[in-house]
Structure 1
Amino acid sequence: MSSEKEDQQTSLEPVLSFSKDDLEDKNLHVLTTIISPNGKEVQITNNVDQAMKYALEHQNDGFELDEATNKRILRKIDTFLLPVMCLLYCFQFMDKLSTSYSSILGLREELHMVGDMYSWTSTSFYLGYLVFEFPASMLLQRFPVAKTVSVFIIIWGMILALCSVPKYPGFIALRTILGMLESAVTPAFTIITSQWYKRDEQFLRTAWWFASNGIGTIVGSGIAYGLYIHQESYSLPAWKLVFVVTGVLTIFLGFVIATHIPDAPTKAWFLTEEEKVLVVERIRSNQQGFGNRRFKKNQFIEALTDHRTWLFFLYSLSSNIPNGGITSFGTILLNEQFGFTKSKSLLMQMPQGAVEIVGCTLFAYFAKFVKSRMLVAIGTTAVVVMAECLLAFAPSNQGKLAGLYLYTLGPIGFICLISQIASSVAGHTKKITVNAIYLIAYCVGNLIGPQTFIATQAPDYNGAKIAIVICGIISLLCLIAIYISYILENKRRDNLPPVDMSHIENYEFADLTDKENPNFRYAL
C-alpha cells in the first residue's frame, strides 16, 4: 500500500529544474530528496557541480553529439592535453630518479653520506609529500586546478635546481620541500582526467600519462650518462648538473601548464562554443561533472567510512614499498650487485623505461577488448609478483635482472586504481579525499621502501627483496577484493527497484556521491 502511494506521489511530482539563481545563491537550501541505493534519504541542494551552471545556460542550444562528432572532439582533447600531461609526468619522475643517478656520480661521497644516510634522501621527500597531501588536495578543490598545480610545478623546479647547492642537512630539507610541492601533481591530473574523459576512456589516458615515467627513466638516464662521460668539460660536478638541468626544464614546463591547460573544459581556448557544450554532454554519462569548490562534510565522512577507500589505501601502501626501494636503489643494484660500471649502470636503466612505456600502455589498451580494467590489472599484477620472485630468488644475475625489468609493469595496478578514483568515486569532496588517502599510502610506502634496503645487507639486500615479494602478494589480493566488491555492489543495485530520476533535470551534475546516486554503477 505504501509503495503504491510513493509511486503516485512520484508520478504527480513536477520536473525539478535548477535555476541559475539557485546556483548563485550563497545560502544553501534543499531542492528535493531522493532515496540512495542503501535506503537512506539524500538531500539535493543548490550546492552542485560547476558543470551544472554551464548545462543550464546552454540547455536550449540544440547541439547534438553523434558518434563522428564524439570521436572528433576526443581526438582534439587528446591532441591538446595528453602531450603536455605526459611531458610533465616524465619530468616529475626524473626528479625522483635524480638522487638515484647522482648517488653513483659523487653525491654520497661529496655530502659525506655513511650508513643509511642515503636512504633518508628518499624518505624525506615522501615525508614532505605525506604531510602536505591533504592541504594540496584542498587547494586544488578551492582554486582553479591547472593554475594551482602550475604554481606548485614552477616552485618545485626552483627547489630542484637548488639541490645542487647545500650540504647534507640542507639537502634533506630541500628534498622534504620537493615532496610537499609534488604532492599536487597526481591529484590534479586525476581531476583533469575525470573532467575531460568518459569513464571507458579514462584508464587508457591515465596509463598514457602515468607510463610517461618510463620516458623519464630513459631521458633521465641519457642526461645523467651524457653529464658523466663529459664531466671534465663542466665547472660543476656531474651530480650537481643533474639537478640543475632537470630543475630548469621543470620550471619551463610549469609555465607551459599555466598557459596551455584550461582549468575546466568550458574555459578551453582550443574548443569552439559548440564543442564546449558537447564536452559537457560527453561526460554526462560519468554521473559527475567538473568539480565543486565547497567542502562537504558528509562526503568527507562517507569517504572515511567506505571500505573500498581502505582497500585502495592498503593496495597503494603495499605496492609502493617495493617501488620506493627500487626507485632509490635501482642504480646502486645495477652497479654494486650486477657489477656494471657507473656509466653502464645508467644506460642499463633505459630498458626499464621501455618496458614501462610499452607494457603499461599495451595492457591498458588490452582492456578495451577484455572490457574490464580490473581484470587486466589483476593479471598484470600476478606477472609482477612472479617478476619480484625472480628478483629475490633467481639463482643467476641474468634471472634477477629479468625480474628487475619486468617489475616495471607494476604501475598498471596503480594506474588502474587512479582511473577508478576518477571513474568510480563520485562526489567531488569524496573524490579528493579518497585521492588524498590513496596518495598518503603511496607516500608511506615510498617512505618505508628505502628503509628496507639496510646498508649492512649490501650488495644483495636480501631482506628488502623478501619484503618486495610479500608486498606484491598483498597488493594482488587487494585488487581482487576491490574487483569482487564492485561486481557484488553492481549486481545488488541492478536487483533493486528502479528509482525514477526523470523529474530532476541535470541530476548527473548534482554532485552526488557513488553511494547516494541510485543510477551510479562502478566501472569494472
Structure 2
Amino acid sequence: MGIKEAFADEVEFAPVLTFSEEDLKDSQHVLTTIVSPHTGKQVNITSDVDEAMKYAIANANSNVHLDAARDKKLLRKIDLYLMPILCLLYCFQYMDKTTNSYAAILGLRTDLKMEGTMYAWTGSAFYIGYLFFEFFSARLLQRFPVAKTASVFIILWGIVLCLHSVPNYTGFVALRTILGMLESSVTVFNLIITGFFYKREEVFFRCALWFSSNGIGTIIGSGAIAYNVYTDQDNFSVPAWKLIFIITGCLTIFLGFIFLIHVPDVPTKAWFLNEEERILVVERIRQNQQGYGNKHFKWYQFREAVLDFKTWLIFMFALATNIPNGGITNFGSILLHEDFGFSTQKTLLMQMPGGAVEFVGCTLLAYFSGYIKSRMLWSCIGTGIAVAAECMLAFGSNKHIQYAGLTLYMICPIGFICLLSVISSNVAGHTKKVTVNAIFLIGYCVGNLIGPQTFLPQQAPNYPTAKICIVSFGSLSLVCLMLIWYSYWRENIKRDKLTSEAAEKFELIENHEFADLTDKENPLFRYAL
C-alpha cells in the first residue's frame, strides 16, 4: 500500500502503511499524521527520517532473518571489532587529561613558577575549553561522518598534548584550554557508536566497559609512564614532566590514525560486516525505537530537550558528581604526596589501585544488571558506595582510612556511566539526543571546572573545604540519580495506562522505529530502567 492511501476506518482491519524510496526524496513531505497520546499534539511523520529508514526500505525484500543464534554470533563479532578500540580511546583520553596531575609532582609547578591558584586554573582551563566547544563538537559529529570527524579530533589533541612541553605558564594554560575543546568530542562519539550497534539492554554494560577504561588509563599513566619516566629521568635531556606529555601525545596521534582506518561511520558501512550482517545490525536495533542518525538539526527537538524537566535532573547530576571528580582528578597526586606524605615514587604507584577499582568495580556493577535487570538500582548502589568513600576521605581518623576512601571513591563513575546509557536508550530523536548529551556534558564541564577551585591554596596540604564539598556534592548526585529513576518509572506507568487509536495506528506504520521521532512523540516508546 502506498503512503498516500489512508488508513481504513476500523484500525483492526487496517493494512500496514508502507514507505517507498520515492516517498523519502522530499525531506519536507508529510508521510502521515498522528496525535500523540502523551502530549495531545499533532505529530507529522515527514520524509526527514533516520538514515536507517532508507536502508531498511532498500532491503525490505531481503530474505535475511534475525534469530537468537545469529543475533548472539553477530553481537560477539561487533564486540570483538569495536569494544577494544572504544576502550582504548577512553583509556587514552583519560590518561591524556590527567597527565597534568602527574606532571604537577614532577616539576611542572616549579618550572612554570606556579603560585597560589595558578595550578588549579590549569585544571579548570581544560574544562573551560570543553564547555565552550561541547555543543559545537556534538553538532559536527551529527553533521559530518562521525568516525572520520572523531579521528581528526583525536589526532589534533595528540599534537596539542605534545606541545604542552612549553616554557611558560600562559602558553600552558592556552594549550590546556585547546585540549579541552578537542577532547569534548570523545564521550559523544563513543555514545553515538554504541547506540548505532547495540540494543538498549546491551548499552549499559558496553558503556561501562569503555568508560571504566579510565581506570586502565590511570594504571598506564601513573605506573607504566610517569613512574618509569621519573625513575629514569637522569637519562633524559628533557625534564620528566615534559617527557610525559610528549609520550602520551605521540601515542594519541597513532591511535587517531588507527581510528580513521578501523571505525565505520555507520553500521551499513562497517568493513568487518558482510552485507547480510549489515542488514541484521539495522534489524537488531529496531527494537530501540531509534535508528542511527539524522544529519539535519531539528529545532522542535531542541526545544523539547530544553523544556523536558528530566534533562535538567540529568544536568544537575552531572554537575554534582563532577565537582568532586574535578578536584580529585587534578589534586589526587598532590593529596597523596603532600597530605598523606608519600614519596614521589610511591605517590605515582599508589594511584594504580584506584584505577583497578574503577575498571573492575564499574564493570562488575554493570554486569550484575544483566541478572537483576535494573541499571538504575546498581548505579544507585555504586554511587552510595562512592559517597561512603568520600566520607572516609574527608573524615577518616587516620591516613590509612583516608587513602582507602580515595581509592574506593574511584567506583563513582558508575552513576555517570548509567546516565550515558540512559541518554542513549531513553532519549529518542537524533537532535534531541545530541542536545541532551551536550547539556549533560556541559554539567560535566562546569562540575569539573568548579572542582579544582574548592582546593584553596591557603588550606594546603589537607584542604578541608574541598573535602566537605566532595561529600556534599557527592550526596546531592545520589539524590538526583534516584529522582531520575523515579521520573522514568512514573512515566512508564502513565504510558502503560494510556490506550489510544493513535498508538494502534502508529504500530501499523512499517519502519516507524526509524521515523526520527522523539520519545514524547512516539506512543510506543517506553523508558528503560
1:39 Cα offset (Å): 2.1
Cross-structure match for 1:355:
357
Cross-structure match for 1:3:
none
Confirm whether residue 249 of structure 1 aligns to residue 244 of structure 2.
no
- After superposition, residues 214-363 of structure 1 pair within 5 angstroms as 214-222=215-223, 223-363=225-365
| Contact 2:8–2:15 (CA under 8 A) maintained in structure 1 | no
| Contact 2:23–2:31 (CA under 8 A) maintained in structure 1 | no
Cross-structure match for 2:205:
204
1:96 Cα offset (Å): 1.5
SS at match of 2:370: helix
1:370 Cα offset (Å): 1.2
1:25 Cα offset (Å): 2.4
SS at match of 2:334: helix
- After superposition, residues 40-189 of structure 1 pair within 5 angstroms as 40-189=41-190
TM-score (norm 2): 0.97
Q: 2-side partners of 1:14 and 1:63: how far apart?
A: 23
Cross-structure match for 2:455:
453
Percent of pairs with identical residues: 62
1:13 Cα offset (Å): 5.3
Cross-structure match for 2:468:
466
| Contact 1:35–1:518 (CA under 8 A) maintained in structure 2 | no
Let me know the Cα RMSD of the aligned residues: 1.1
Cross-structure match for 1:39:
40
Q: 1-side partners of 2:260 and 2:418: how far apart?
A: 27
Given residue 125 of structure 1, which amino acid in structure 2 is its aligned partner?
F
Cross-structure match for 1:521:
526
Given residue 511 of structure 1, which amino acid in structure 2 is its aligned partner?
D
Q: 2-side partners of 1:490 and 1:212: how far apart?
A: 33
SS at match of 1:43: strand
Q: 2-side partners of 1:16 and 1:429: how far apart?
A: 26
SS at match of 2:207: helix
Confirm whether residue 434 of structure 1 aligns to residue 439 of structure 2.
no
SS at match of 2:443: helix
Given residue 451 of structure 2, which amino acid in structure 1 is its aligned partner?
G
Q: Which runs of 5+ in 2 are unaligned?
A: 1-6
User: What do the CA deviations read for 1:390-432 (whole angstroms, capped 9, x no partner)?
Assistant: 1000111111111101100000000000000100000000000
User: What do the CA deviations read for 1:71-124 (whole angstroms, capped 9, x no partner)?
Assistant: 100000000000001001001001121010000000000000001100011100
1:18 Cα offset (Å): 1.8
Given residue 339 of structure 1, which amino acid in structure 2 is its aligned partner?
G
Confirm whether residue 506 of structure 1 aligns to residue 508 of structure 2.
no
| Contact 1:199–1:423 (CA under 8 A) maintained in structure 2 | yes
Given residue 35 of structure 2, which amino acid in structure 1 is its aligned partner?
I
Q: 2-side partners of 1:166 and 1:313: how far apart?
A: 38
Q: 2-side partners of 1:10 and 1:39: how far apart?
A: 19
Q: 1-side partners of 2:179 and 2:444: how far apart?
A: 16
Q: 2-side partners of 1:9 and 1:306: how far apart?
A: 35
Q: Relative to structure 1, is the Cα distance of residues 24 and 258 closer, same or farther in structure 2, using a 3 angstrom cutoff?
A: farther
Q: 2-side partners of 1:247 and 1:263: how far apart?
A: 24
| Contact 1:17–1:505 (CA under 8 A) maintained in structure 2 | yes
1:7 Cα offset (Å): 8.8
1:40 Cα offset (Å): 1.8
SS at match of 2:31: strand
1:38 Cα offset (Å): 2.4
| Contact 1:163–1:243 (CA under 8 A) maintained in structure 2 | yes
Q: Relative to structure 1, is the Cα distance of residues 13 and 29 closer, same or farther in structure 2, using a 3 angstrom cutoff?
A: farther
Q: 2-side partners of 1:492 and 1:258: how far apart?
A: 45
| Contact 2:8–2:14 (CA under 8 A) maintained in structure 1 | no
Q: 1-side partners of 2:72 and 2:443: how far apart?
A: 37
TM-score (norm 1): 0.97
| Contact 1:70–1:282 (CA under 8 A) maintained in structure 2 | yes
1:383 Cα offset (Å): 1.1
Given residue 33 of structure 1, which amino acid in structure 2 is its aligned partner?
T
Cross-structure match for 2:18:
17
Given residue 237 of structure 1, which amino acid in structure 2 is its aligned partner?
P
| Contact 1:96–1:327 (CA under 8 A) maintained in structure 2 | no
| Contact 1:126–1:446 (CA under 8 A) maintained in structure 2 | yes
SS at match of 2:32: strand
Q: 1-side partners of 2:511 and 2:408: how far apart?
A: 46
SS at match of 2:523: coil
Aligned residue pairs total: 518
Cross-structure match for 1:30:
30
Q: Which runs of 5+ in 1 are unaligned?
A: 1-5
